[in-house]
Structure 1
Amino acid sequence: MEPLKNIYSKDWIKNLSLVVSKVDSKITPNEFQKKVLESPWKEYELKERINRLADVFLFFWNEPLTHIEPKLIRLIELLKTNGAQNFNFPYIFVNDIVSKAGLEDFDTSMRILEKTTVFSSAEFAIRFYYQNHFVPTLKQMQIWSKHKEPYVRRLASEGSRPLLPWGIGIPEIKRNPEVHLPILKQLWNDENEVVRRSVSNHLNDISKINPDLVLEFCKNRFGVSAILDKNLKHALRGLLKKGNQDALSFFSYDTKWKPKDFQFYLKQKKIKIGDSLEFTIEFQQKSKESKMIRMEYKIGFLLAKKTYGYKIFKISEKLIPPNENVKIIKKHSFKLITTRVYYPGVHTISIVFNGREYEKLEFILENKK
Structure 2
Amino acid sequence: MEPLKEMYSRDWVLNLGSHLNAVDSNIKPLEFQKQVFSSPWKEMELKERINRLAEVVVQNWQGPIANIFSNLVTLIDSLRNQGISDFNFPYIFLNDIVTKSGLSDFETSMKAFEKITVFSSSEFAIRFFYKQHFDKTLKQMFLWSKHKEPMVRRLASEGSRPMLPWGIGIPEIKKNPEIHLSILESLWDDPNEIVRRSVANHLNDISKLNPELVLEFCRHKFGKTSELDKTLKHSLRTLLKKGNTKALGFFSYNTKWKPEKFKFSLSQKKVKVGNALEFKIYLSQNSKDKTKLRLEYKIGFRLSNGKHGFKVFQLGERILMPSGTIEITKKHSFAPITTRVYYPGTHTISILLNGNEYDLRKFELKRG
TM-score (norm 2): 0.99
Would you identify which runs of 4 or more consecutive aligned residues in structure 1 move more than 3 Å? none
Moved more, 143-152 or 10-19: 10-19
Residues 46-86 of structure 1 deviation map (CA, whole Å, 9 limit, x = unaligned): 11111111111111122111111111111111111112101
Residue in 2 that maps onto 1:285: 285
Among all aligned residue pairs of Structure 1 and Structure 2, give the percentage whose two residues are the same amino acid: 62
The question of 1:269 aligning with 2:263 is answered no
Secondary structure class of the residue paired with 1:92:
helix
Residue in 1 that maps onto 2:347: 347
Cα separation, 2, equivalents of 1:169 and 1:196: 23
Residue in 2 that maps onto 1:256: 256
Secondary structure class of the residue paired with 1:100:
helix
Structure 1 unmatched ranges of 5 or more:
none
1:312 is matched by which residue type in structure 2? V
Residues 302-354 of structure 1 deviation map (CA, whole Å, 9 limit, x = unaligned): 11111111000000112211111111001111111111111111111110011
Q: CA deviation at 1:269?
A: 1.2
Moved more, 164-173 or 261-270: 261-270
Moved more, 16-25 or 275-284: 16-25
Cα separation, 2, equivalents of 1:274 and 1:43: 28
Residue in 2 that maps onto 1:132: 132
Cα separation, 2, equivalents of 1:114 and 1:356: 46
1:271 is matched by which residue type in structure 2? V
Residue in 2 that maps onto 1:54: 54
Cα separation, 2, equivalents of 1:133 and 1:122: 16
2:296–2:353 Cα contact (<8 Å) kept: yes
Cα separation, 1, equivalents of 2:282 and 2:318: 15
Residues 198-254 of structure 1 deviation map (CA, whole Å, 9 limit, x = unaligned): 000000000000000000000000011111011000000000000000000000000
Secondary structure class of the residue paired with 1:294:
strand
Residue in 2 that maps onto 1:20: 20
Q: CA deviation at 1:289?
A: 0.4
Would you say how many aligned residue pairs link Structure 1 and Structure 2? 368
Cα separation, 1, equivalents of 2:283 and 2:41: 55
Residue in 2 that maps onto 1:356: 356
Secondary structure class of the residue paired with 1:38:
coil
Cα separation, 2, equivalents of 1:318 and 1:284: 12
Q: CA deviation at 1:2?
A: 2.0
Cα separation, 1, equivalents of 2:40 and 2:280: 49
Structure-to-structure mapping, 1:200-279, within 5 angstroms: 200-279=200-279
1:44 is matched by which residue type in structure 2? M
Secondary structure class of the residue paired with 1:279:
strand
Cα separation, 2, equivalents of 1:40 and 1:307: 38
Q: CA deviation at 1:88?
A: 0.6
Q: CA deviation at 1:113?
A: 0.6
Secondary structure class of the residue paired with 1:340:
coil
Q: CA deviation at 1:93?
A: 0.7
Cα separation, 2, equivalents of 1:276 and 1:44: 34
Cα separation, 2, equivalents of 1:160 and 1:115: 18
Compute the RMSD of aligned alpha carbons: 0.9
Residues 73-119 of structure 1 deviation map (CA, whole Å, 9 limit, x = unaligned): 11111111112101111101101111111011000100111111000
The question of 1:310 aligning with 2:299 is answered no
TM-score (norm 1): 0.98
Residue in 2 that maps onto 1:116: 116
Residue in 2 that maps onto 1:179: 179
1:122 is matched by which residue type in structure 2? S
Cα separation, 2, equivalents of 1:367 and 1:44: 30
Residue in 2 that maps onto 1:336: 336
The question of 1:84 aligning with 2:84 is answered yes
1:264 is matched by which residue type in structure 2? F
Structure 2 unmatched ranges of 5 or more:
none
1:221 is matched by which residue type in structure 2? K
Cα separation, 2, equivalents of 1:307 and 1:167: 28
Residue in 2 that maps onto 1:32: 32
1:273 is matched by which residue type in structure 2? V
